Structure 1
Amino acid sequence: MTHSALRWRKLAGALALAVLGACAPRGPRVPTVPVVVIRDTVTSPTRPPRDTVSIPATPTADTAAFPEALLAPRVRVGLVVDTARIEITSAGAFSVLTDAGQEIASLGAGATATFTDAGGTITLASRTGASGGGPGGAGLRAPLVVRPAEQHGTLSVKGQAYRGELVVQDAPRGGLTVVNRLDMETYLLGVVPREIGNVQADVFEAVKAQAVAARTYAAIYMGRRSAQGFDVYATVEDQVYGGQAAEYALASRAVRETAGEIITYNGEPITAYYHSTCAGQTAAIHEVWNNAPIPYLVAVRDVDPRTGEAYDKVSSRFRWTERWTHDQLVGILNRTMADSLRGRRITRIHDMRVLERTASDRIRAMRLATDAGTFTLGKDRIRWILTPASRAGILNSSKFDVRLVREGGRVTEIVAEGGGWGHGIGMCQVGAMGRARAGQDYRTILRAYYPGTQIIDRY
């Protein structure tokens, strides 16, 4: 059987399951369909078009129109980690169950379930809408599952609505952790918009590239954070996940049209790092972090050969300037370099000078001379040391020049003039948009940023 025939046979089975599920009464959750991994086949550009399956214009978790969601693995997203108390509510009815499926409480639309850590057990209380199974109680054992009554219902945590179900479980160091458990494809509906932004149709191929990169990133992280009880954080620690509120039609369509696709190298999923702006040149992983070289995470010249201009030239961070007064930077360094200073205090900066650059023009080593000693800074860590005085966060990138302003021989101001936003490894998101505008499809874009890789259908 050909790969294309196998794929459409799987989708036909998934559609049949969806139709049966729509007719069946709400009952115990059916186990997830096992994932079929195709490791030895490269997806052909001539495979049957995905639009033979009806794709609705508005975002929805309707598996009849999105059958790959039935085949996708389940992702556990850490929404709230290690908290003493958490409230969960819903616009529709919902239930609280044990992990074995025994109902503890049935709550109506608009009700709030409050979970409180009680030193090894959980206390559950509810406000309004309680019926059937009762309002809960004390001495409950984690994990507890919170599930909407309707198949496509949502649950809200801290005012944010999420698809799937929520699991309230013990945090490794005490307290409670709330995990959103849902299929990979539905998870991506809330990731792609937060990572690529709300963009227009002219960069649709870049949005598809983002969807494949984000799916690949999540696939490689499945199980890596099991000690914490989930797979990925919902923040920049992994991928930003905004739940249902983040969704919009163009991004949802990109997820659906690439459903199941991941990037591989030698048949295995890659670590698909990506960033906002590379300023015309991405970075190799070993230039930025203390990692061994990786064949597909290398420096890539990101310039349109037809115009000689960088694909990401429209980024607001393509070129940037950051300034500090002498005293501002002294205060920052005493905080960000506390581990290196070991109780000493900087009161005077004498000099700052770039000693060595990487092949992608990022700083490999910088000499910082102060009255508390001389230090060598470099690689991506420099962004956490030279934090901006004008805003919260870290320095835009490690691709910059430094200039000192002196009066009477003493440093009075430090100016960094640079380009790019992020670590610079892997796909450049604004560059991908430029490539899309130049007519490149998402496969071409991904091959450019991850050389030597292949895209396969994983399910």
Structure 2
Amino acid sequence: MSEKSTTSKNYRSNSVKKIEQEPIIAVGAMTIPAGKVSFTLQGEFVTNNQSTLSAGQYHVNVTGKSVQLSNGSVFDSEVTLTPAAAASFTVHDVVIGINFHWERKEDQSFQGALKLKIDGAGNLLVINLVPLEQYVTSVISSEMSATSNLELLKAHSIISRGWLLAQIKPWRIERQTDLSNGAISTNAQGEKELIRWYAREAHTEFDVCADDHCQRYQGITKATDPRVFETIKSTRGNVLTFDETICDARFSKCCGGMVEDYAAAWDNTKLDYLTVLYDGEHFPAEYQLPLSDEANARQWILGHPSAFCNTQDKEILARILPGFDQETTDFYRWKVALTQDEVQSLLQKKLGVDFGAILKLEPVERAESGRLVKLRIVGEKLTLVVGKELEIRRAFSPSHLYSSAFIIEADDSPIPKHFILHGAGWGHGVGLCQIGAALMAERGYEYQKILMHYYPGATLHLLYD
């Protein structure tokens, strides 16, 4: 046993009431404004009006308020296809990584039932109804590679299961917010301000979406390694809890060496288990805290401090990351160069604001991880303070910047011709750092230790058998 090993009983909690059976989850695989999609059934399925669909490919069209299949079947607003026996189905041209730099289409195969529904806006929703453990099997093979270390997969299965349950009533964490989310307002200093964050609880027609907005759920084709099924068997029904509540266990790809606080990315709620912490054993003595200080943040971001997630080991990365994530090699420290014209164009497109020439980009508020929470954009026509982290990332990239942990360099011209952003990390940085956790597992940490590192004070709890 590794010297870093521990027994799970030290982290067990019995404060949250057990439930009688495994929940069925509604996963939104696609939302299609055009109302057209194709899918292939690998076996016989039965509709909710008891008609039978044989194996084969089908095309779907929305006609008014009706769902029409290529075999001539027509259904009022929705239809659910349930497998008659063990069978799967494939949805074609599913878009993944929506609005991120890895966006692409792929065919995805699923187990469980297929629901097709027209929402209030006339969009066609493609929904997979699936038992929670099957859902988690896919998530841990989509967020990370199925060939990852077993201890990482165990840790990820527990947080993915718990995160989902924390979003769904009756376990949903109800929050009050003291920010206006998304409208330009005037702050206490008299400046115009746009503060926006993107809630993961925004879905109304299904429990969770299948993309990075929630958790990657890319079907059964990536769950190919036996260790994935071993993971699900050994962690079945386990979640993290804190203060008699299922933990809203957030995670991101790479924290850049410093894990972020929940309130820096979303509403101003204090969640003690989602707090700022160094992603390593001992904070490097050559750097200074807090990273909310601009000088300290500059030193940290321009440096290359040791951390669990600071790795360029190609063999390990190939083992733990899905293929398209391996295309991003500069996840720990990165640089983006933008021209004056590019910045103006991006801000006009993303924020809908004409700033004129951009004179300055000034940090207003950094969180203790070094991430920008508020950034002042000084233009010839307008000055605006923008936040939070994802809105800042959106504003300065055709997709998203890797993170909001960046410093800004500009030339000395009255109207700078170029801006260079030096950044750290990939994602919001809250909760578990996926690459950091993977490296912890590679170094011999068991999953309990990994979870306690990223969610201090949380306890493991068996919610259902």
TM-score by length of 1: 0.74
Kept in 2, the 8 Å contact 1:95–1:103? The answer is no
Distance of 1:222 and 1:425 partners within structure 2: 20
Matches of residues 23-422 of structure 1 in structure 2 within 5 Å? 39-40=14-15, 71-83=21-33, 84-91=35-42, 93-98=43-48, 102-107=49-54, 109=55, 111-126=56-71, 137-138=73-74, 140-151=75-86, 153-158=87-92, 159-200=107-148, 203-223=149-169, 228-249=204-225, 250-305=227-282, 309-314=306-311, 316-338=330-352, 341=353, 345-388=354-397, 392-407=398-413, 409-422=414-427
Deviation at 1:393, TM superposition (A): 1.8
Conserved 8 A contact 1:189-1:252: yes
Quote the sequence identity (%): 23
Query: Runs in 1 of length 4+ with deviation above 4 angstroms?
Result: 223-227
Please identify, of 302-311 and 111-120, the stretch whose mean Cα deviation from structure 2 is larger: 302-311
Amino acid at match of 1:313: N
The superposition leaves residues 305-358 of structure 1 with CA deviations (integer Å, 9 ceiling, x where unpaired) of 3988201001631111111011111111111221xx3xxx33312122224322
Q: Quickly say closer, same or farther: Cα 1:106–1:411, change in 2 above 3 A.
A: closer
TM-fit CA distance, 1:198:
4.6
Structure whose alpha-carbon radius of gyration is higher? 1
Which deviations, in whole Å up to 9, do the C-alpha atoms of 1:336-392 show, x marking residues without a partner? 221xx3xxx33312122224322222223333221112222343145334433xxx5
The code of the aligned residue for 2:407 comes to D
CA contact (8 A) 2:58 2:70 kept: yes
CA RMSD of aligned residues (A): 2.7
Q: In 2 relative to 1, CA 198–403 (structure 1 residues): closer, same or farther, beyond 3 Å?
A: farther
Contact 1:194 1:240 in 2 (8 A): yes
Larger RCO, structures 1/2 (Cα 8 Å, 6+ apart): 2
- Cα distance in 2, alignment partners of residues 287 and 419 from structure 1: 16
CA separation in 2, counterparts of 1:199 and 1:314?
A: 18
Q: Residue 81 of structure 1: SS of its match in structure 2?
A: strand
Change (3 A) 1:424 1:86: same
Task: Report the Cα offset of residue 226 of structure 1.
Answer: 9.9
Name the SS for the 1:228 alignment partner. coil
Determine helix, strand or coil for the equivalent of 2:448. helix
Instruction: Give the whole-Å Cα distance in 1 for the aligned partners of 2:443 and 2:283.
Output: 10
Structure 2 residue runs without a partner (length 5+): 1-12, 93-106, 173-200, 286-305, 313-329
* Number of equivalent positions: 369
CA distance in 2, matches of 1:306, 1:359: 14
Secondary structure at 2:259 match in 1:
coil
Query: Distance between the aligned counterparts of 1:227 and 1:314, measured in 2?
Result: 36
Other structure's SS at 1:286 match: helix
Rate the CA distance shift 1:137–1:280 in 2: closer, same or farther, 3 A.
closer
Determine if contact 2:17/2:463 at 8 Å carries over to the other structure.
Answer: no
CA contact (8 A) 1:336 1:384 kept: no
Structure 1: state its 5+ residue gaps: 1-37, 44-67, 127-135
Quick check: 2:60–2:67 contact (8 Å CA) kept in 1? yes
Stretch of structure 1 that moved more, 278-287 or 245-254:
245-254
